[in-house]
Each structure stands twice: as structure tokens, then as C-alpha cells.
Amino acid sequence: MEQRNRELLLAEAERDQKRKLEEYAVALERSNKDLEEFAYICAHDMKSPVSSLRGLLDMMQQKEAVKEQHKRVFDMARRSVEQMQKTITTLNDILAFKKTFTQQREEVRFDEVLEAVKDILLPAIRESGAGIRADFSRCPSIEFSRVQLQSVLQNLVANSIKYSKEGEAPAIEMATRVEEGYVVLEVRDQGIGMDLDLYGNKLFQLFNRFHTNKEGSGVGLYLVRSIVEYYKGKIVVDSEVDKGTIFKLYFSHAHVQ
């Protein structure tokens, strides 16, 4: 009888814990939606007044309305407004992109998506002399959103080109495979790399940049992570300064073709 009572108490505790976890998950999802809606409203409502302010500053500059002794302060204000405008535009772009997460999946071939990415990045590829080698033979395609897979490849290839070594043509290699139920996309380069001990925990955060001498918005890897995690996947990064970086993207719940 005592053993039976212990089992009943344990079962009741497990049910109570499961109920609390489910309630927490619902509350967390609702909180995330509220935060996303708040971010959308802020980004949308700030866009117009900031654009107006930028226009007024441009008008002052064109009409030479700024006295010589005030030009330094005026230029600082103008640069601040330009940066704010870029940030707001980027936030709107991110929020708009996240709406594509509801798109229906389709059979998507990696090689076709890569060719589309090459067309988009053609100027950067030609200018840098980048070479891209791909082997998708072990997993040619998956059921996924074409828009999102293209965004993943485009951001990773663009990053490899941007952070290549000075004076060296970027060498980018990518391959796919199936591993323990995941579709794995691996992208590696021989670029300048990064110190993961210093930056690893900030790598996928929004607006973070680790090489200030390179142009960028600090958004690409954030989008990559958002896409992978939306599909219950994960990302593993291996990087070493002056030796390059390897991104391993594990796509979960993606039907293998």
C-alpha cells in the first residue's frame, strides 16, 4: 500500500510539473508575440519622423544654412540620424522577413538555391575572386522554404567573402549530409576567422560586429540563427583567428529527399 501511494504521489507530481511547463510555454509564446508586435510598432512609427529629420538636415546642408563654426556638430548630428535610419530600416526588414516563416514548405534543391545566391552576389564574387565548391550529393534537397534557405546560403557566402584575408581570394566549401535525423549543411572558409572565447556567446546577436574595419549591419548571422531555430535546429561554429570558420547547420524536422 505504501509503495502504491508513493507511485501515485510521483505520478501526480509529474502531471503537475507537465502542466506548469505547458502553461509556461504558452505564456512565453504570448510574451514573444507581444514583444514582436511592440518592435514592429516602434520600428514602423519611428520611420516617418526620422526620415523627415534626415530631410530637414539635407535641406539645411543644401542651402548652406549651417555656420562654419557649427559644421562639426551638424555633421555629428547628421551621421547619428543616418545611423538611426539604417537601424530602423533594418528592423523593418527583419520583421517583414520573419513573416515568411509561415510560408509553405516545398522540395528545394541546394544546388539550385546556390546558383540563385551566386547570381545575387555576382559583383562581390567577381571583385573578390571568390571560389565556391559545393558537394550536395549526400543530401541533394529537403522540404523547406526556398526563401529562407536562400537567405541562409546568401548570408553565409556573403560573410565568407567579407571576412576573407587581405590579398587572398576567398575559398568557400559547402556540403550536405544526413546525420542522426538532421539535414546538415556545412559551410567553411579560410578567412580571418574569430576568437570564439571572446565573441562566441555574442556571435548571433542582433547588430553585433567583431571586425570594425569591415562594413556590415550585424544582422546576417542573426537571421541565419532565427531560421535554423524556427525549424527546431541548431548551429555549431568552429573558428580560429587567421585560419577560417566552419558553420554546421543542423536542420531538424526537414523531410529528406
Long-range contact set of residues 120-125: C-beta below 8 Å, sequence gap at least 24: 120/154, 121/154, 121/157, 121/158, 121/161, 124/158, 124/161, 125/161
| Per-residue confidence (pLDDT) for residue 256, from 0 to 100 | 47
Integer Cα distance of 96 and 126 in angstroms: 30
Burial 16-53, CB ≥16 within 10 A → b, else e? eeeeeeeeeeeeeeeeeeeeeeeebeebeebeeebeeb
pLDDT, tens digit, for every residue of 53-74? 788 778 888 877 778 887 888 7
Low-confidence ranges of the chain (pLDDT < 70): 1-5, 7-8, 24-47, 100, 102-103, 200, 207-218, 253-257
Integer Cα distance of 145 and 151 in angstroms: 10
Residue 176 sits at φ, ψ, to 5 deg, of -125, 160
% of the chain exceeding 90 in pLDDT: 35
Q: How many other C-beta atoms lie within 10 A of the C-beta of residue 92? A: 16
| Per-residue confidence (pLDDT) for residue 171, from 0 to 100 | 96
Q: Domains along the chain? A: 2-100 (1.10.287.130), 103-251 (3.30.565.10)
| Per-residue confidence (pLDDT) for residue 172, from 0 to 100 | 97
| Per-residue confidence (pLDDT) for residue 147, from 0 to 100 | 86
| Per-residue confidence (pLDDT) for residue 53, from 0 to 100 | 77
Q: In the 8-state DSSP scheme, what is residue 246? A: E
3-state secondary structure of 140: coil
| Per-residue confidence (pLDDT) for residue 229, from 0 to 100 | 87
| Per-residue confidence (pLDDT) for residue 257, from 0 to 100 | 45
| Per-residue confidence (pLDDT) for residue 38, from 0 to 100 | 58
